[in-house]
Amino acid sequence: MTADALATSCMVMGYEKAVEFIDAIPGAEAYFVYGSSDGKIKTNMTEGLKSLIKE
């Protein structure tokens, strides 16, 4: 339930505010998929999540 609530909140507030929101929650990590102002689909993730994913 918590993950669903956080995801819904992030979708409503938009990318920039969502990044700040997740960063303010201890232990929360996120992978963001969002549309940029030029119409392209972009991705980003929190620093903590980057350390857990191998490329």
What does the pLDDT look like over 17-51, one tens digit per residue? Answer: 999 999 999 999 999 999 999 999 999 999 999 98
Tokens of 25: 């929650």
- pLDDT digits 0-9 by tens, 2-23: 999 999 999 999 999 999 999 9
What's the rounded Cα separation, in Å, for the pair 39 and 20?
A: 22
Question: Does residue 27 belong to any structural domain of this protein?
Answer: yes
Contact 47, 28 (CB under 8 A): no
Residue 53: its pLDDT value, please?
Answer: 86
Question: Does residue 23 belong to any structural domain of this protein?
Answer: yes
Quote the number of domains for the chain.
1
Do you know the residue count of the chain? 55
Q: Token pair 């991705």 is at which residue?
A: 43
Judged on CB neighbours under 10 Å (0-12, 13-18, 19+), 2 is exposed
What's the rounded Cα separation, in Å, for the pair 49 and 36?
A: 21
Residue 25: its pLDDT value, please?
Answer: 96
Domain of 36, in residue numbers: 2-50
